[in-house]
Structure 1
Amino acid sequence: MPEPGRWAGRNPAKDIIRHDIWAQLEAEGINVGPAWSMIPNFAGADLAAWHLAQTPQWKAAKTGKTNPDHAQTPIRIRALYEGKIVYTPVPYLTKDFPYLKLDPVRLQASGISFELAATPQGFLEHGEKLEFEQVQRLDFCVVGSVAVSRAGGRTGKGAGFADLETAIFRELGVVDAQTPMATTVHSLQLVKDRHIVIEPHDSPLDFVATQSELIVTGNAMPRPMGVDWSKVRLDQFDTIPFLARLRDRMLARRAG
């Protein structure tokens, strides 16, 4: 049996639901590539992207953020073809810089296909390197998920990257409480509301798009509006090279 997850043990209840979803995806042959310890790619990811792209909020957006995983490559491709600027974090935040910018005008001028630039390998090679403070205001945010509920609860892969990024952006004013938060998943990743553990740092979803439907959650839970640095785990400071420097800048910004 595969390992329960490289970030297992931080929240046992979340570990259980992740384990169940990864196992179901593999049993049904839905995953595309490895599923365990990841935001899983899935058959029908392009259809889920299509459903999400029909929302008025997506159509009105000029800028957007997505997680870096393969499951969200189709939504990045759509965004670039629609002329949207796309921001994507470095996978696992392992570089000295946190973010990359994909500008469709710049990519076209350089002869780089949107299909290439939208892949994890492509945006690392062709994206513009940025600090968090250089990301412009975001009109729409797409996060990766392992399990979600119709009420907008979300469980990620367990590393805490997405919630940390969102909290940083909220504190910097890059997103606010009205910025749409969405995900794309396979319908097998939908679970009962009671199975999703909501912690204070978690951001609820406004939209959940699957290969067969768009779910408008109507979630009105409070959004965490900044980073509680005392709750950031020590291992995150160890594995994210720029995080301590960012913390110092943001604390100085608060004090100023």
Structure 2
Amino acid sequence: MTNIDEAKTAVRDRVWRLLEREGAVPEGSYGKIPGFYGAETTAERLAALDVWKQASTIKANPDWAQLSIRARALKDGKLLYMAVPKMAGLQPFFLLDPTSLGVPPEQAAEKRGAAQVAHRIGIEDMRPIDLVICGSVAVNRSGTRIGKGAGYSDLEVALLIEAGLVTNETTIVAPVHQLQVVDEEIPETEHDFSVDLIITPDEVIECPNRRRPQGLVWEDLTSEKIEAIPVLAMRAREHG
């Protein structure tokens, strides 16, 4: 574990313990993207923004913390790409089209519901993304964020950048509890991306100094990680 990894782990541990101590999350949230209380209010606050109203395509993680936003996207008629947990398979995204769900938006937006009613697609079949909704454990006001440490959000965004689907026109949003917004510096590596907006139940924070990778940073990926994610394994074989 590098010094950066150790520093990130320390921030995660402090935030997880703080959230549980303050009763801001359900029991058992340690080690996860926290499904915080107030997530519905956060979704309403985001939906009131022009950047949401103008968006037609949204990509979101499958965590419970973003469920209210995913459901709101479908209710508002937006095309929703939801990452398949752990990027399993060569088609690592669910496509949820609000015009042909067959079930209520709240059900379709759940992990189980999406697996039942959504089409699975590959990156080559996706449209450009207007908004990325990323799960986070902690984020600071400059937009630096950390997830739970598995790295899937970073990989998804990197792949979408390489495909030209996440561009300078795309806004990346972190919906979090106010206690997840930290004042300290969070160390970054080459593959980390920053967020443009932080949405909490209490406020909207615009983040300066956007930072995004150019794409995948292969040097940061272990052979085990590559082989565990079919899309990466295929890309590695294609590139020799």
Which TM-score applies when normalising by structure 1?
Answer: 0.88
1:10–1:158 contact (8 Å) kept in structure 2:
no
Structure 1: 5+ residue runs without aligned partners? 1-6
SS at match of 1:11: helix
Change over 3 Å in CA distance of 1:168–1:66 after alignment to 2: same
Structure 1 residues 97-116: aligned runs within 5 Å: 97-107=91-101, 110=102, 112-116=103-107
Q: Does 1:225 align with 2:219?
A: no
How far residue 8 of structure 1 moved from its aligned partner, in angstroms, is: 11
Q: Does 1:43 align with 2:33?
A: no
Aligned length: 240
Q: 1:52 aligns with which of 46, 55, 73?
A: 46
Matched residue, 2:164: 173
Which TM-score applies when normalising by structure 2?
Answer: 0.93
SS at match of 2:233: helix
2:50 and 2:178 map into 1 onto residues whose CA distance is 22
Structure 1 residues 69-80: aligned runs within 5 Å: 69-80=63-74
2:31 and 2:88 map into 1 onto residues whose CA distance is 16
CA deviation map 1:49-93 (0-9, x unaligned) = 111222211110000001110000000111001100000111122
1:23 and 1:241 map into 2 onto residues whose CA distance is 34
CA deviation map 1:104-161 (0-9, x unaligned) = 0011xx2x11010011111122111011221111111110000001111101100111
2:61 and 2:173 map into 1 onto residues whose CA distance is 11
How far residue 94 of structure 1 moved from its aligned partner, in angstroms, is: 3.1
Change over 3 Å in CA distance of 1:98–1:33 after alignment to 2: farther
Matched residue, 2:233: 244
SS at match of 2:191: coil
SS at match of 2:166: coil
CA deviation map 1:148-192 (0-9, x unaligned) = 011111011001111111111011001112310001100111111
How far residue 32 of structure 1 moved from its aligned partner, in angstroms, is: 2.8
Identical aligned residues as a percent: 37
Matched residue, 1:206: 196
Q: 1:183 aligns with which of 164, 169, 174?
A: 174
Structure 2: 5+ residue runs without aligned partners? none
Which letter maps to 1:234?
S
How far residue 199 of structure 1 moved from its aligned partner, in angstroms, is: 1.5
Which letter maps to 1:159?
A
1:58 and 1:211 map into 2 onto residues whose CA distance is 16
Q: Does 1:82 align with 2:76?
A: yes
Matched residue, 1:66: 60
